[in-house]
Structure 1
Amino acid sequence: MARPRPLPSGRSVPDTARFAGVGRWLLRAASLGVCLLAWQAAAQLRLDLGIVTFRNVPPPVEVAQAGIELLQSSKLFDHVTSSLSRVFAGYGLAALAGVMLGLAVGRSRLAGDVLMPPLEILRPIPAVAWIPLAVLMFPSSELSMIFITFTGALFPILLSTIHGVENVDPRLVASARSLGAGWGAILREVVLPAAAPSIVTGLAIGMGTSWFCLVTAEMISGQYGIGYYTWESYTLQNYPDIVVGMVLIGLMGMGSSALLRRAGARLTPWHSTDEARR
Protein backbone atom coordinates (compact mmCIF):
# COMPACT_ATOMS: atom_id res chain seq x y z
CA MET A 1 0.00 0.00 0.00
CA ALA A 2 1.35 3.43 -0.97
CA ARG A 3 2.17 5.80 1.82
CA PRO A 4 0.25 9.08 2.12
CA ARG A 5 1.90 11.79 0.07
CA PRO A 6 3.67 14.33 2.32
CA LEU A 7 2.39 17.87 2.18
CA PRO A 8 4.73 20.86 1.99
CA SER A 9 4.48 21.33 5.74
CA GLY A 10 5.72 17.77 6.29
CA ARG A 11 2.38 16.43 7.49
CA SER A 12 0.59 13.62 5.68
CA VAL A 13 -2.87 14.02 4.17
CA PRO A 14 -4.66 11.98 6.91
CA ASP A 15 -2.91 14.01 9.64
CA THR A 16 -3.95 17.28 8.06
CA ALA A 17 -7.54 16.08 7.71
CA ARG A 18 -7.53 15.01 11.36
CA PHE A 19 -6.31 18.43 12.51
CA ALA A 20 -8.91 20.11 10.31
CA GLY A 21 -11.65 17.99 11.87
CA VAL A 22 -10.48 18.86 15.39
CA GLY A 23 -10.44 22.52 14.44
CA ARG A 24 -14.02 22.37 13.21
CA TRP A 25 -15.21 20.78 16.45
CA LEU A 26 -13.35 23.39 18.48
CA LEU A 27 -15.00 26.12 16.43
CA ARG A 28 -18.43 24.59 17.04
CA ALA A 29 -17.75 24.28 20.77
CA ALA A 30 -16.61 27.91 20.89
CA SER A 31 -19.77 29.03 19.09
CA LEU A 32 -21.92 27.17 21.62
CA GLY A 33 -19.89 28.61 24.50
CA VAL A 34 -20.38 32.18 23.24
CA CYS A 35 -24.14 31.63 23.05
CA LEU A 36 -24.22 30.28 26.62
CA LEU A 37 -22.18 33.23 27.90
CA ALA A 38 -24.50 35.69 26.16
CA TRP A 39 -27.52 33.91 27.66
CA GLN A 40 -25.95 33.96 31.13
CA ALA A 41 -25.16 37.67 30.88
CA ALA A 42 -28.61 38.61 29.57
CA ALA A 43 -30.36 36.62 32.32
CA GLN A 44 -28.18 37.98 35.13
CA LEU A 45 -28.57 41.58 33.95
CA ARG A 46 -32.32 41.03 33.40
CA LEU A 47 -31.83 42.60 30.02
CA ASP A 48 -34.89 44.35 28.60
CA LEU A 49 -34.74 45.18 24.91
CA GLY A 50 -38.33 46.34 24.63
CA ILE A 51 -39.68 43.63 22.37
CA VAL A 52 -37.63 40.93 24.13
CA THR A 53 -37.01 40.72 27.86
CA PHE A 54 -34.88 38.36 29.94
CA ARG A 55 -36.36 39.34 33.31
CA ASN A 56 -37.96 35.94 33.91
CA VAL A 57 -35.59 33.83 31.84
CA PRO A 58 -33.49 31.49 34.04
CA PRO A 59 -29.71 31.58 33.48
CA PRO A 60 -27.83 28.50 32.25
CA VAL A 61 -26.51 27.76 35.75
CA GLU A 62 -30.04 27.33 37.14
CA VAL A 63 -31.04 25.27 34.10
CA ALA A 64 -28.03 22.99 34.62
CA GLN A 65 -28.99 22.51 38.27
CA ALA A 66 -32.57 21.64 37.28
CA GLY A 67 -31.24 19.21 34.68
CA ILE A 68 -29.07 17.46 37.27
CA GLU A 69 -32.06 17.14 39.59
CA LEU A 70 -34.11 15.62 36.76
CA LEU A 71 -31.33 13.17 35.93
CA GLN A 72 -31.29 12.04 39.55
CA SER A 73 -35.06 11.52 39.69
CA SER A 74 -37.13 8.62 38.39
CA LYS A 75 -39.35 10.91 36.30
CA LEU A 76 -36.80 11.27 33.51
CA PHE A 77 -37.02 7.63 32.43
CA ASP A 78 -40.83 7.68 32.30
CA HIS A 79 -40.96 10.90 30.32
CA VAL A 80 -38.24 9.93 27.85
CA THR A 81 -39.50 6.40 27.21
CA SER A 82 -43.06 7.65 26.71
CA SER A 83 -41.97 10.22 24.14
CA LEU A 84 -39.62 7.82 22.34
CA SER A 85 -42.26 5.10 22.06
CA ARG A 86 -44.80 7.55 20.62
CA VAL A 87 -42.34 9.09 18.19
CA PHE A 88 -41.02 5.83 16.80
CA ALA A 89 -44.49 4.28 16.53
CA GLY A 90 -45.91 7.23 14.59
CA TYR A 91 -42.72 7.84 12.65
CA GLY A 92 -42.35 4.19 11.67
CA LEU A 93 -45.87 4.14 10.24
CA ALA A 94 -45.27 7.45 8.48
CA ALA A 95 -41.99 6.22 6.96
CA LEU A 96 -43.65 3.10 5.59
CA ALA A 97 -46.70 4.92 4.24
CA GLY A 98 -44.73 7.91 2.92
CA VAL A 99 -42.21 5.84 0.97
CA MET A 100 -44.84 3.48 -0.45
CA LEU A 101 -47.19 6.30 -1.48
CA GLY A 102 -44.28 8.33 -2.84
CA LEU A 103 -43.11 5.46 -5.02
CA ALA A 104 -46.63 4.93 -6.32
CA VAL A 105 -47.26 8.61 -7.09
CA GLY A 106 -43.80 9.13 -8.56
CA ARG A 107 -44.07 6.16 -10.91
CA SER A 108 -47.76 6.27 -11.83
CA ARG A 109 -49.70 9.22 -13.22
CA LEU A 110 -52.96 7.50 -12.31
CA ALA A 111 -51.86 7.09 -8.69
CA GLY A 112 -50.89 10.77 -8.61
CA ASP A 113 -54.28 11.85 -9.95
CA VAL A 114 -56.11 9.70 -7.38
CA LEU A 115 -53.96 10.23 -4.27
CA MET A 116 -52.49 13.72 -4.48
CA PRO A 117 -55.67 15.88 -4.37
CA PRO A 118 -56.79 14.69 -0.91
CA LEU A 119 -53.20 14.59 0.35
CA GLU A 120 -52.56 18.16 -0.80
CA ILE A 121 -55.68 19.31 1.03
CA LEU A 122 -54.54 17.60 4.25
CA ARG A 123 -50.89 18.65 4.02
CA PRO A 124 -51.20 22.33 5.12
CA ILE A 125 -53.28 21.44 8.22
CA PRO A 126 -51.05 22.00 11.30
CA ALA A 127 -50.68 19.37 14.00
CA VAL A 128 -52.56 21.45 16.58
CA ALA A 129 -55.65 21.48 14.37
CA TRP A 130 -55.66 17.65 14.28
CA ILE A 131 -55.71 17.23 18.06
CA PRO A 132 -59.48 17.69 18.72
CA LEU A 133 -60.39 15.37 15.84
CA ALA A 134 -57.78 12.81 16.89
CA VAL A 135 -59.24 12.74 20.41
CA LEU A 136 -62.66 12.04 18.89
CA MET A 137 -61.38 9.44 16.43
CA PHE A 138 -59.27 7.26 18.72
CA PRO A 139 -60.31 5.53 21.95
CA SER A 140 -57.19 6.53 23.88
CA SER A 141 -55.01 9.61 24.13
CA GLU A 142 -51.98 7.40 23.42
CA LEU A 143 -53.26 6.48 19.96
CA SER A 144 -54.26 10.05 19.24
CA MET A 145 -50.73 11.28 20.03
CA ILE A 146 -49.23 8.60 17.80
CA PHE A 147 -51.59 9.72 15.04
CA ILE A 148 -50.46 13.34 15.45
CA THR A 149 -46.86 12.21 15.16
CA PHE A 150 -47.75 10.17 12.08
CA THR A 151 -49.35 13.12 10.29
CA GLY A 152 -46.38 15.37 11.07
CA ALA A 153 -43.82 12.97 9.64
CA LEU A 154 -45.83 11.70 6.67
CA PHE A 155 -45.75 14.64 4.30
CA PRO A 156 -42.02 15.48 4.34
CA ILE A 157 -41.25 11.81 3.64
CA LEU A 158 -43.93 11.58 0.96
CA LEU A 159 -42.90 14.72 -0.92
CA SER A 160 -39.18 13.91 -0.77
CA THR A 161 -39.84 10.41 -2.08
CA ILE A 162 -41.96 11.76 -4.94
CA HIS A 163 -39.25 14.29 -5.79
CA GLY A 164 -36.57 11.60 -5.80
CA VAL A 165 -38.58 9.19 -7.95
CA GLU A 166 -39.62 11.83 -10.47
CA ASN A 167 -36.01 12.96 -10.92
CA VAL A 168 -34.69 9.50 -11.80
CA ASP A 169 -32.92 9.74 -15.15
CA PRO A 170 -35.38 8.24 -17.71
CA ARG A 171 -32.41 6.95 -19.72
CA LEU A 172 -31.55 4.60 -16.85
CA VAL A 173 -35.09 3.25 -16.83
CA ALA A 174 -35.09 2.88 -20.62
CA SER A 175 -31.74 1.09 -20.53
CA ALA A 176 -32.95 -1.34 -17.88
CA ARG A 177 -36.14 -1.98 -19.83
CA SER A 178 -34.20 -2.60 -23.05
CA LEU A 179 -32.19 -5.25 -21.20
CA GLY A 180 -35.39 -7.08 -20.32
CA ALA A 181 -35.97 -5.84 -16.76
CA GLY A 182 -39.55 -5.92 -15.51
CA TRP A 183 -41.20 -3.23 -13.39
CA GLY A 184 -40.12 -4.93 -10.17
CA ALA A 185 -36.48 -5.10 -11.21
CA ILE A 186 -36.55 -1.49 -12.44
CA LEU A 187 -38.00 -0.36 -9.14
CA ARG A 188 -35.49 -2.37 -7.12
CA GLU A 189 -32.35 -1.84 -9.19
CA VAL A 190 -32.84 1.61 -10.74
CA VAL A 191 -35.55 3.73 -9.09
CA LEU A 192 -34.85 3.02 -5.42
CA PRO A 193 -31.05 3.50 -5.61
CA ALA A 194 -31.45 6.73 -7.60
CA ALA A 195 -34.17 8.12 -5.32
CA ALA A 196 -32.54 6.93 -2.07
CA PRO A 197 -30.75 10.24 -1.26
CA SER A 198 -34.01 12.19 -1.50
CA ILE A 199 -35.81 9.54 0.54
CA VAL A 200 -33.15 9.72 3.27
CA THR A 201 -33.45 13.51 3.35
CA GLY A 202 -37.21 13.23 3.73
CA LEU A 203 -36.82 10.67 6.52
CA ALA A 204 -34.48 13.02 8.43
CA ILE A 205 -36.84 15.99 8.00
CA GLY A 206 -39.81 13.83 8.97
CA MET A 207 -38.09 12.84 12.20
CA GLY A 208 -37.74 16.49 13.18
CA THR A 209 -41.35 17.32 12.39
CA SER A 210 -42.56 14.23 14.25
CA TRP A 211 -40.87 15.52 17.42
CA PHE A 212 -42.45 18.92 16.93
CA CYS A 213 -45.92 17.41 16.52
CA LEU A 214 -45.51 14.97 19.39
CA VAL A 215 -44.52 17.69 21.85
CA THR A 216 -47.55 19.73 20.80
CA ALA A 217 -49.84 16.74 21.38
CA GLU A 218 -48.25 15.88 24.72
CA MET A 219 -48.72 19.42 25.98
CA ILE A 220 -52.46 19.10 25.48
CA SER A 221 -53.42 15.47 26.05
CA GLY A 222 -50.41 13.69 27.54
CA GLN A 223 -49.71 12.49 31.06
CA TYR A 224 -46.09 11.50 30.50
CA GLY A 225 -43.54 12.68 27.98
CA ILE A 226 -41.11 15.54 27.47
CA GLY A 227 -43.81 17.82 26.06
CA TYR A 228 -46.05 17.19 29.06
CA TYR A 229 -43.10 17.77 31.41
CA THR A 230 -42.36 21.12 29.72
CA TRP A 231 -45.96 22.29 29.88
CA GLU A 232 -46.38 21.12 33.47
CA SER A 233 -43.25 23.08 34.43
CA TYR A 234 -44.79 26.19 32.91
CA THR A 235 -48.07 25.80 34.78
CA LEU A 236 -46.14 25.28 38.03
CA GLN A 237 -43.87 28.24 37.20
CA ASN A 238 -40.72 26.10 37.37
CA TYR A 239 -38.96 28.16 34.72
CA PRO A 240 -35.60 26.32 34.72
CA ASP A 241 -37.46 23.04 34.12
CA ILE A 242 -39.09 24.56 31.04
CA VAL A 243 -35.69 25.11 29.47
CA VAL A 244 -34.57 21.62 30.55
CA GLY A 245 -37.54 20.16 28.68
CA MET A 246 -36.74 22.26 25.62
CA VAL A 247 -33.10 21.14 25.68
CA LEU A 248 -34.14 17.48 26.00
CA ILE A 249 -36.48 17.84 23.02
CA GLY A 250 -33.71 19.42 20.98
CA LEU A 251 -31.14 16.79 21.92
CA MET A 252 -33.42 13.85 21.18
CA GLY A 253 -34.58 15.34 17.91
CA MET A 254 -31.02 16.17 16.85
CA GLY A 255 -29.73 12.75 17.89
CA SER A 256 -32.44 10.79 16.08
CA SER A 257 -32.03 12.86 12.91
CA ALA A 258 -28.25 12.42 13.03
CA LEU A 259 -28.65 8.65 13.38
CA LEU A 260 -30.94 8.60 10.36
CA ARG A 261 -28.48 10.61 8.26
CA ARG A 262 -25.64 8.34 9.33
CA ALA A 263 -27.65 5.23 8.48
CA GLY A 264 -28.65 6.77 5.16
CA ALA A 265 -25.01 7.52 4.31
CA ARG A 266 -24.08 3.90 4.98
CA LEU A 267 -26.99 2.61 2.88
CA THR A 268 -26.14 4.96 -0.01
CA PRO A 269 -22.33 4.90 -0.26
CA TRP A 270 -22.53 5.95 -3.91
CA HIS A 271 -23.95 9.29 -2.73
CA SER A 272 -21.66 9.99 0.24
CA THR A 273 -21.19 13.66 1.07
CA ASP A 274 -19.15 15.70 3.49
CA GLU A 275 -22.32 16.23 5.55
CA ALA A 276 -22.76 12.49 5.99
CA ARG A 277 -19.17 12.11 7.24
CA ARG A 278 -19.43 14.77 9.94
Structure 2
Amino acid sequence: MTAPPAMLVQDAPAVAVRVRGRAPRRAWPSWLVRVASVVAAIALWQVLTANHIRFLLRFDTLPTVTDIVTAFAHRLGTQDYWLDLGQSLIRILTGFALAAVAGVVTGIVLGRSRAGANVLGPLTELARPIPAIALVPVAILLFPSDEAGIVFITFLAAYFPIMVSTRHAVRALPTLWEDSVRTLGGSRWDVLTRVVLPGILPGVFGGLSVGIGVAWICVISAEMISGRLGVGYRTWQAYTVLAYPDVFVGIITIGVLGFLTSAAVEVVGRRVTRWLPRGEEDRR
Protein backbone atom coordinates (compact mmCIF):
# COMPACT_ATOMS: atom_id res chain seq x y z
CA MET A 1 0.00 0.00 0.00
CA THR A 2 1.35 3.44 -0.91
CA ALA A 3 1.97 5.76 2.02
CA PRO A 4 -0.25 8.86 2.12
CA PRO A 5 1.37 12.18 1.22
CA ALA A 6 1.19 13.38 4.83
CA MET A 7 3.33 10.46 5.99
CA LEU A 8 5.84 11.13 3.22
CA VAL A 9 6.10 14.76 4.28
CA GLN A 10 6.58 13.76 7.91
CA ASP A 11 9.27 11.25 7.00
CA ALA A 12 11.13 13.70 4.76
CA PRO A 13 13.18 15.34 7.57
CA ALA A 14 14.27 11.93 8.84
CA VAL A 15 15.38 10.94 5.33
CA ALA A 16 17.22 14.21 4.96
CA VAL A 17 18.96 13.66 8.29
CA ARG A 18 20.04 10.17 7.25
CA VAL A 19 21.33 11.48 3.91
CA ARG A 20 23.22 14.31 5.57
CA GLY A 21 24.56 11.88 8.12
CA ARG A 22 26.52 9.99 5.49
CA ALA A 23 30.20 10.79 5.55
CA PRO A 24 30.94 12.51 2.21
CA ARG A 25 34.01 11.54 0.30
CA ARG A 26 36.79 13.91 1.21
CA ALA A 27 38.00 15.82 -1.83
CA TRP A 28 41.54 17.08 -2.11
CA PRO A 29 41.84 20.89 -1.94
CA SER A 30 42.31 22.28 -5.43
CA TRP A 31 45.44 24.23 -4.43
CA LEU A 32 47.03 21.04 -3.12
CA VAL A 33 46.35 19.21 -6.39
CA ARG A 34 47.88 22.07 -8.37
CA VAL A 35 50.99 22.20 -6.22
CA ALA A 36 51.33 18.42 -6.38
CA SER A 37 51.16 18.46 -10.19
CA VAL A 38 54.00 21.00 -10.38
CA VAL A 39 56.11 19.07 -7.86
CA ALA A 40 55.54 15.84 -9.78
CA ALA A 41 56.65 17.47 -13.04
CA ILE A 42 59.82 18.82 -11.39
CA ALA A 43 60.59 15.43 -9.87
CA LEU A 44 60.12 13.73 -13.23
CA TRP A 45 62.45 16.28 -14.86
CA GLN A 46 65.12 15.56 -12.24
CA VAL A 47 64.83 11.79 -12.71
CA LEU A 48 65.04 11.99 -16.52
CA THR A 49 67.96 14.42 -16.65
CA ALA A 50 69.98 13.03 -13.73
CA ASN A 51 69.81 9.53 -15.21
CA HIS A 52 70.64 10.72 -18.75
CA ILE A 53 67.51 9.22 -20.24
CA ARG A 54 67.41 9.24 -24.03
CA PHE A 55 64.15 7.82 -25.37
CA LEU A 56 62.65 9.75 -28.28
CA LEU A 57 63.71 12.96 -26.48
CA ARG A 58 67.30 13.72 -25.43
CA PHE A 59 66.99 14.51 -21.75
CA ASP A 60 70.68 13.77 -21.32
CA THR A 61 71.50 17.11 -22.99
CA LEU A 62 69.42 19.19 -20.56
CA PRO A 63 70.49 20.50 -17.14
CA THR A 64 69.14 18.87 -14.01
CA VAL A 65 66.83 20.60 -11.55
CA THR A 66 69.70 20.99 -9.09
CA ASP A 67 71.85 22.69 -11.76
CA ILE A 68 69.01 25.10 -12.55
CA VAL A 69 68.38 25.89 -8.88
CA THR A 70 72.09 26.60 -8.36
CA ALA A 71 72.17 28.91 -11.39
CA PHE A 72 68.96 30.60 -10.25
CA ALA A 73 70.39 31.31 -6.80
CA HIS A 74 73.50 32.79 -8.40
CA ARG A 75 71.48 34.97 -10.82
CA LEU A 76 69.28 36.32 -8.03
CA GLY A 77 72.37 37.79 -6.41
CA THR A 78 73.45 39.74 -9.50
CA GLN A 79 72.39 43.25 -10.46
CA ASP A 80 71.91 42.31 -14.13
CA TYR A 81 69.06 39.95 -13.29
CA TRP A 82 66.99 42.67 -11.64
CA LEU A 83 67.82 45.19 -14.37
CA ASP A 84 66.60 42.72 -17.00
CA LEU A 85 63.50 42.01 -14.95
CA GLY A 86 62.63 45.69 -14.59
CA GLN A 87 63.31 46.44 -18.25
CA SER A 88 61.04 43.65 -19.47
CA LEU A 89 58.27 44.72 -17.08
CA ILE A 90 58.48 48.34 -18.24
CA ARG A 91 58.22 47.24 -21.87
CA ILE A 92 55.33 44.85 -21.33
CA LEU A 93 53.31 47.19 -19.11
CA THR A 94 53.80 50.19 -21.42
CA GLY A 95 52.86 48.33 -24.58
CA PHE A 96 49.97 46.53 -22.90
CA ALA A 97 48.51 49.72 -21.39
CA LEU A 98 48.60 51.47 -24.78
CA ALA A 99 47.05 48.43 -26.45
CA ALA A 100 44.29 48.20 -23.83
CA VAL A 101 43.20 51.81 -24.40
CA ALA A 102 43.51 51.69 -28.18
CA GLY A 103 41.95 48.23 -28.49
CA VAL A 104 38.87 49.06 -26.40
CA VAL A 105 38.28 52.39 -28.16
CA THR A 106 38.74 50.89 -31.63
CA GLY A 107 36.57 47.90 -30.78
CA ILE A 108 33.72 50.15 -29.66
CA VAL A 109 34.02 52.27 -32.80
CA LEU A 110 34.05 49.20 -35.07
CA GLY A 111 31.10 47.68 -33.23
CA ARG A 112 28.86 50.75 -33.09
CA SER A 113 29.79 52.99 -36.01
CA ARG A 114 29.16 51.97 -39.61
CA ALA A 115 31.46 54.72 -40.85
CA GLY A 116 34.17 53.63 -38.44
CA ALA A 117 33.79 50.02 -39.55
CA ASN A 118 34.06 51.05 -43.21
CA VAL A 119 37.20 53.11 -42.64
CA LEU A 120 39.06 51.12 -39.97
CA GLY A 121 37.65 47.64 -40.55
CA PRO A 122 39.60 46.78 -43.74
CA LEU A 123 42.85 48.14 -42.26
CA THR A 124 42.57 46.14 -39.05
CA GLU A 125 41.57 42.95 -40.85
CA LEU A 126 44.50 43.24 -43.25
CA ALA A 127 47.00 43.86 -40.45
CA ARG A 128 45.59 41.38 -37.93
CA PRO A 129 46.88 38.14 -39.56
CA ILE A 130 50.45 39.47 -39.65
CA PRO A 131 52.44 38.18 -36.65
CA ALA A 132 53.70 41.08 -34.57
CA ILE A 133 57.16 39.55 -34.37
CA ALA A 134 57.37 39.63 -38.19
CA LEU A 135 57.29 43.44 -37.96
CA VAL A 136 60.52 43.66 -35.97
CA PRO A 137 62.51 44.82 -39.05
CA VAL A 138 59.87 47.49 -39.70
CA ALA A 139 60.05 48.63 -36.08
CA ILE A 140 63.84 48.86 -36.27
CA LEU A 141 63.60 51.05 -39.37
CA LEU A 142 60.62 53.09 -38.16
CA PHE A 143 61.64 54.02 -34.62
CA PRO A 144 64.82 55.87 -33.63
CA SER A 145 65.58 53.52 -30.71
CA ASP A 146 65.34 49.79 -30.11
CA GLU A 147 63.38 50.48 -26.93
CA ALA A 148 60.54 52.21 -28.77
CA GLY A 149 60.51 49.44 -31.38
CA ILE A 150 60.14 46.70 -28.75
CA VAL A 151 57.28 48.58 -27.07
CA PHE A 152 55.63 48.95 -30.49
CA ILE A 153 55.86 45.20 -31.11
CA THR A 154 54.39 44.54 -27.66
CA PHE A 155 51.59 47.00 -28.39
CA LEU A 156 50.69 45.30 -31.67
CA ALA A 157 50.73 41.85 -30.09
CA ALA A 158 48.21 42.83 -27.40
CA TYR A 159 46.14 45.24 -29.49
CA PHE A 160 44.41 42.84 -31.87
CA PRO A 161 43.07 40.32 -29.30
CA ILE A 162 41.70 43.21 -27.22
CA MET A 163 40.19 44.96 -30.22
CA VAL A 164 38.53 41.84 -31.64
CA SER A 165 37.14 40.77 -28.27
CA THR A 166 35.75 44.26 -27.61
CA ARG A 167 34.17 44.45 -31.07
CA HIS A 168 32.42 41.12 -30.64
CA ALA A 169 31.25 42.10 -27.15
CA VAL A 170 29.73 45.34 -28.49
CA ARG A 171 27.92 43.55 -31.30
CA ALA A 172 26.59 40.92 -28.90
CA LEU A 173 24.85 43.45 -26.65
CA PRO A 174 21.04 43.08 -26.69
CA THR A 175 19.44 46.02 -28.50
CA LEU A 176 16.67 45.99 -25.89
CA TRP A 177 18.99 47.59 -23.36
CA GLU A 178 19.80 50.52 -25.63
CA ASP A 179 16.16 50.93 -26.64
CA SER A 180 15.14 51.08 -22.99
CA VAL A 181 17.63 53.87 -22.20
CA ARG A 182 16.56 55.87 -25.25
CA THR A 183 12.88 55.41 -24.41
CA LEU A 184 13.56 56.93 -21.00
CA GLY A 185 15.14 59.96 -22.66
CA GLY A 186 18.78 58.92 -22.45
CA SER A 187 21.37 60.44 -24.77
CA ARG A 188 24.05 58.66 -26.77
CA TRP A 189 26.46 59.34 -23.93
CA ASP A 190 24.04 57.67 -21.51
CA VAL A 191 23.85 54.64 -23.79
CA LEU A 192 27.64 54.45 -23.94
CA THR A 193 28.24 54.81 -20.19
CA ARG A 194 25.21 52.92 -18.86
CA VAL A 195 24.80 50.16 -21.44
CA VAL A 196 27.80 49.66 -23.68
CA LEU A 197 30.72 49.99 -21.26
CA PRO A 198 29.23 47.86 -18.43
CA GLY A 199 27.86 45.31 -20.89
CA ILE A 200 31.14 44.68 -22.70
CA LEU A 201 33.33 44.34 -19.58
CA PRO A 202 33.36 40.50 -19.58
CA GLY A 203 34.40 40.46 -23.24
CA VAL A 204 36.98 43.19 -22.73
CA PHE A 205 38.70 41.36 -19.88
CA GLY A 206 38.65 38.17 -21.93
CA GLY A 207 40.60 40.05 -24.60
CA LEU A 208 42.93 41.53 -22.00
CA SER A 209 43.75 38.07 -20.65
CA VAL A 210 44.62 36.83 -24.13
CA GLY A 211 46.45 40.03 -24.99
CA ILE A 212 48.81 39.95 -22.01
CA GLY A 213 49.85 36.40 -22.87
CA VAL A 214 50.52 37.18 -26.53
CA ALA A 215 52.34 40.37 -25.52
CA TRP A 216 54.79 38.37 -23.39
CA ILE A 217 55.53 36.05 -26.29
CA CYS A 218 56.34 38.94 -28.59
CA VAL A 219 58.28 41.11 -26.15
CA ILE A 220 60.59 38.20 -25.29
CA SER A 221 61.07 37.42 -28.98
CA ALA A 222 61.77 41.07 -29.78
CA GLU A 223 64.31 41.25 -26.96
CA MET A 224 66.06 38.19 -28.34
CA ILE A 225 66.28 39.78 -31.79
CA SER A 226 67.04 43.44 -31.14
CA GLY A 227 67.24 44.07 -27.41
CA ARG A 228 70.19 45.02 -25.28
CA LEU A 229 68.53 44.42 -21.93
CA GLY A 230 65.66 42.25 -20.76
CA VAL A 231 64.89 38.68 -19.81
CA GLY A 232 64.61 37.57 -23.43
CA TYR A 233 67.94 39.14 -24.38
CA ARG A 234 69.72 37.55 -21.41
CA THR A 235 68.18 34.14 -22.11
CA TRP A 236 69.38 34.20 -25.71
CA GLN A 237 72.83 35.33 -24.64
CA ALA A 238 73.03 32.38 -22.24
CA TYR A 239 72.15 30.03 -25.10
CA THR A 240 74.87 31.45 -27.37
CA VAL A 241 77.55 30.73 -24.74
CA LEU A 242 76.08 27.27 -23.98
CA ALA A 243 75.10 28.22 -20.40
CA TYR A 244 72.03 25.98 -20.45
CA PRO A 245 71.13 26.29 -16.75
CA ASP A 246 70.95 30.07 -17.25
CA VAL A 247 68.70 29.50 -20.24
CA PHE A 248 66.23 27.72 -17.99
CA VAL A 249 66.57 30.47 -15.40
CA GLY A 250 65.32 32.85 -18.08
CA ILE A 251 62.54 30.49 -19.12
CA ILE A 252 61.32 30.09 -15.55
CA THR A 253 61.48 33.86 -15.00
CA ILE A 254 59.40 34.45 -18.10
CA GLY A 255 56.85 31.89 -16.95
CA VAL A 256 56.56 33.43 -13.48
CA LEU A 257 56.23 36.96 -14.86
CA GLY A 258 53.60 35.85 -17.36
CA PHE A 259 51.67 34.03 -14.65
CA LEU A 260 51.71 37.01 -12.29
CA THR A 261 50.62 39.55 -14.89
CA SER A 262 47.87 37.27 -16.22
CA ALA A 263 46.68 36.63 -12.66
CA ALA A 264 46.63 40.38 -12.01
CA VAL A 265 44.43 40.95 -15.07
CA GLU A 266 42.16 38.11 -13.94
CA VAL A 267 41.83 39.52 -10.41
CA VAL A 268 41.02 43.01 -11.68
CA GLY A 269 38.50 41.57 -14.10
CA ARG A 270 36.74 39.62 -11.36
CA ARG A 271 36.61 42.70 -9.13
CA VAL A 272 35.24 44.93 -11.88
CA THR A 273 32.64 42.36 -12.98
CA ARG A 274 31.74 41.07 -9.52
CA TRP A 275 28.07 41.74 -10.30
CA LEU A 276 28.09 38.85 -12.77
CA PRO A 277 26.69 35.45 -11.64
CA ARG A 278 29.58 32.99 -11.40
CA GLY A 279 28.27 29.91 -9.62
CA GLU A 280 30.82 27.10 -9.59
CA GLU A 281 33.65 29.42 -10.64
CA ASP A 282 33.58 31.24 -7.29
CA ARG A 283 34.19 28.00 -5.38
CA ARG A 284 37.38 27.09 -7.23
TM-score above 0.5, yes or no: yes
CA distance in 1, matches of 2:255, 2:269: 21
Evaluate the alpha carbon distance shift between residue 231 and residue 160 of structure 1 in structure 2; reply closer, same or farther with a 3 A threshold: same
Which residue number corresponds to residue 261 of structure 2? 256
- AA partner of residue 212 (structure 1): I
CA RMSD between the two structures = 2.0
Shift of 1:170: 0.9
Residue 176 of structure 1, CA deviation: 1.0
Query: Are residues 1:68 and 2:102 paired?
Result: no
Unaligned runs of 5+ in 2: 1-16
The answer as to 2:114 corresponding to 1:115 is: no
- 1:136 is the counterpart of 2:148: no
- Structure 1 contact 262–276 (Cα < 8 Å) conserved: no
d(CA) in 2 for partners of 1:49, 1:117: 50
After TM superposition, give the deviation of residue 110 of structure 1 in Å.
2.0
Give per-residue Cα distances to partners, 1:171-230, cap 9 Å, x unaligned.
111111111111111111011111100101111111111111100000011111000011
* Structure 2 residue identity aligned to 1:253: G
Say whether residues 1:80 and 2:92 are aligned partners. no
**Quick one: distance in 1 between partners of 2:110 and 2:84?**
38
Structure 1 residue 90 corresponds to structure 2 residue 95? yes
Question: 2:283 & 2:91 partners in 1: Cα distance?
Answer: 29
**How far apart, CA to CA, are the structure 2 residues paired with 1:276 and 1:250?**
25
What is the number of residues matched between the two proteins? 265
| 1:265/1:272 contact within 8 Å kept | no
The equivalent position to 2:30 in structure 1, one of 8, 24, 30, is: 24
CA separation in 2, counterparts of 1:9 and 1:134?
68
Match of 1:37?
Answer: 43
CA–CA separation in structure 2 for the residues paired with 1:122 and 1:221: 22
Corresponding residue to 2:210 among 185, 200, 205: 205
Q: Does 1:246 align with 2:258?
A: no
The one-letter code matched in structure 1 to 2:118 is D
Letter in 1 for 2:103: G
Deviation at 1:149, TM superposition (A): 0.3
Alignment CA distance shift 1:128-1:182 (3 Å) = same
TM-fit CA distance, 1:49: 2.5
How many Å apart are 1:144 and its aligned residue? 0.3
Show CA shifts across 1:10-48 (max 9, x none): 99xxxx9xx96x711111111111111111111122222
What corresponds to 1:8 in structure 2?
20
Asked if 1:218 corresponds to 2:223, the answer is: yes
Amino acid at match of 1:8: R
CA shift for structure 1 position 163: 1.1
Q: Return the offset for 1:77.
A: 1.2
Residue identity over aligned pairs, in percent, reads: 38
| Per-residue Cα deviation, 1:57-78 (whole angstroms, up to 9, x for no partner) | 1111111111111111111210
Work out which of the residue numbers 158, 172, 178 in structure 2 matches 1:173. Answer: 178
Cα pair 1:261 1:276 within 8 Å, conserved: no
Q: Whole-Å Cα distance in 2 between the matches of residues 39 and 66 of structure 1?
A: 16
* Rg (Cα) greater in structure: 2
Distance 1:231 1:258 in 2: 26
Which letter does structure 2 place at the counterpart of 1:185? D
- Residue 8 of structure 1 deviates from its aligned partner by 3.3
Q: Distance in 2 between matches of 1:45 and 1:271?
A: 51
User: Is 2:53 the counterpart of 1:47?
Assistant: yes
Unmatched tracts of structure 1, length 5 or more: 1-5
Q: Which moved more, 1:80-89 or 1:36-45?
A: 36-45
Q: Which residue of 1 aligns with 2:152?
A: 147
Deviation at 1:276, TM superposition (A): 6.5
Partners in 1 of 2:267 and 2:277 — Cα distance? 10
CA contact (8 A) 1:127 1:216 kept: no
Q: 1:58 aligns with which of 32, 53, 63?
A: 63
